[in-house]
Structure 1
Amino acid sequence: MKGPCFPDLEVPIRVRYHETDKMGVVHHSNYIRYMEVARMAWLDALGCPFTRIEGGDTQLMITEVSCTYRAPATFDDLLQVHIILERWNKFRLSFLFLIKKEDRVIAKGGSALAAVSNAGYPVPLPEILLERLSELDVTAPQHHHD
């Protein structure tokens, strides 16, 4: 069976009113949530929903997260969260996120995840995830990462 041929995905997110602050812009903490929504969608598209990954003895723990803000988003803006698999090995995944409004990057972020046992000790990524990752076409054209 031929696996997925994408290392990246774009996920649309419409800004909801409760995600804005007193200044009328999206509160900074919500960009991290948008990245998580995109990461879950990416895993779903890969054929490894998070519930399946964490349904056994392995958890994926966030070990790093970052976000640089370039321009604000406001209520009802339609954002595109572009998630790109940057690196992976037997134990970790790293992603780049470009959050866009009208094709303009308004925030750039990243996250890294490590596999740990339910007791919190480092372990390899679940086998199903490793299989799907090995099937990715990482020779696909790379995108400009503003």
Structure 2
Amino acid sequence: MEPVRMPLRVRYHECDPQGVVFNANYLAYFDMASFEFLAAVLGKSTGLNDHGVDFVVAESNVRYLRALRFEDELVVSVRIAHLGNTSLVLEFEIQRGDETVATGTNRYVFVDEKTLTKKAPPDEIRVKLLEYQALAATPDPA
């Protein structure tokens, strides 16, 4: 199974005066792709909220490999790197054509939607994440 993939075109306002995508925008791309991931796994991007939980970013890491520029067409891929009791690590890869331009991870902590205190996701969510993780680890027959 393929990871969740989100196509994107770099917009002018995402670039710095040198015409290169400003570094913080890579994290914005990760964030947008995480919502695509939730929609693919849970049926909609707000699927966590339907169960009274959400997740918040506890840690982000980005490795910049190549510069992105205005109007570059890219794809952000997302896969589960780790699922803990109250946390989830998503792994991201940004590609321009066949070239990987950045990789990174976000560690999310599941929280109660109202109090924002750490909370394990409901079993229904955990099962869907585990099913997706297992399918994503299985190579597609070619």
Query: TM-score band (shorter)?
Result: 0.7 to 0.9
The count of residues paired between Structure 1 and Structure 2 equals 137
Shift of 1:121: 2.0
2:83 corresponds to 1:88: yes
Distance 1:21 1:99 in 2: 19
Distance 2:81 2:138 in 1: 13
Query: Counterpart in 2 of 1:131?
Result: 127
If each structure's helix is expressed as a fraction of its own residues, which one has the higher value? 2
Identity over the aligned pairs, expressed in percent? Answer: 26
Q: TM-score, normalised by structure 1?
A: 0.84
Residues 29-80 of structure 1 deviation map (CA, whole Å, 9 limit, x = unaligned) = 1100111111111110113433231245322111111111111111110011
How large is the RMSD of aligned CA atoms in angstroms?
A: 1.9
- In structure 1, runs of 5+ residues without a counterpart are 1-5
Q: TM-score, normalised by structure 2?
A: 0.86
Residues 89-119 of structure 1 deviation map (CA, whole Å, 9 limit, x = unaligned) = 3311111111111211111110011111222
Are the counterparts in 2 of residues 48 and 129 from structure 1 also a CA contact under 8 Å? Answer: no
Range with greater deviation from structure 2 (61-70 or 43-52):
43-52
Correspondences of 1:62-101 after superposition (within 5 Å): 62-101=57-96
- Structure 1 outlier segments of 4+, above 6 Å: none
Distance 1:50 1:23 in 2: 34
- In structure 2, runs of 5+ residues without a counterpart are none
